[in-house]
Amino acid sequence: MAITIDWATKIIHIPKADTTLVSSSPSEVRELNVNAFRLRLKDLEDDAEGITFLITHIHSTIVTVGGATFARLVEIINGYTVTFEDGPYTVNLVGANSNITEVTNLNMVSVRTANSAGLIQQSELEPLKFSK
């Protein structure tokens, strides 16, 4: 399966298979890369079926301010909601700040985010952690 959009109901469906397994014990934890997710949404929006509908999200890219590189932002808009394939597992949203938890349709899936007003792009910090 793949991420799909029901254009009539404005529901974005995310299959479990489109998330990455992080841990299976003691409970199942998966990740959704928010940037990869938004790129998939853009692909669906410019398909023949999707092009006539309102856009699903807005995106602000990585920005450097005062020497600090801040993470991207993805905001689901225009009344779209997100439904993860139902089941007893947790999804961590990674790679961007987002409002996905606020527009998620409730089921058995637990969705966790790490939004931060000062979320710094992790790839910029990696080279610095051993530079002393």
Q: What is the 3-state secondary structure (H, E, C) of 29-79?
A: EEEEEHHHHHHHHHHHHCCCCHHHCCCCEEEECCEEECCEEECCEEEECCC
Question: Is the pTM of the predicted complex or chain greater than 0.75?
Answer: yes
Q: Output the pLDDT for position 96.
A: 92
Please provide the average confidence, as pLDDT, over all residues in the chain.
91
- Number of neighbouring beta carbons within 10 Å of residue 94: 18
Question: What's the pLDDT tens digit per position in 64-122?
Answer: 888 877 888 999 999 999 999 999 999 999 989 999 999 999 999 999 998 876 656 66
Higher-scoring residue by pLDDT: 124, 12 = 12
Distance in angstroms (rounded) separating the CA atoms of residues 61 and 120: 12
Distance in angstroms (rounded) separating the CA atoms of residues 22 and 68: 28
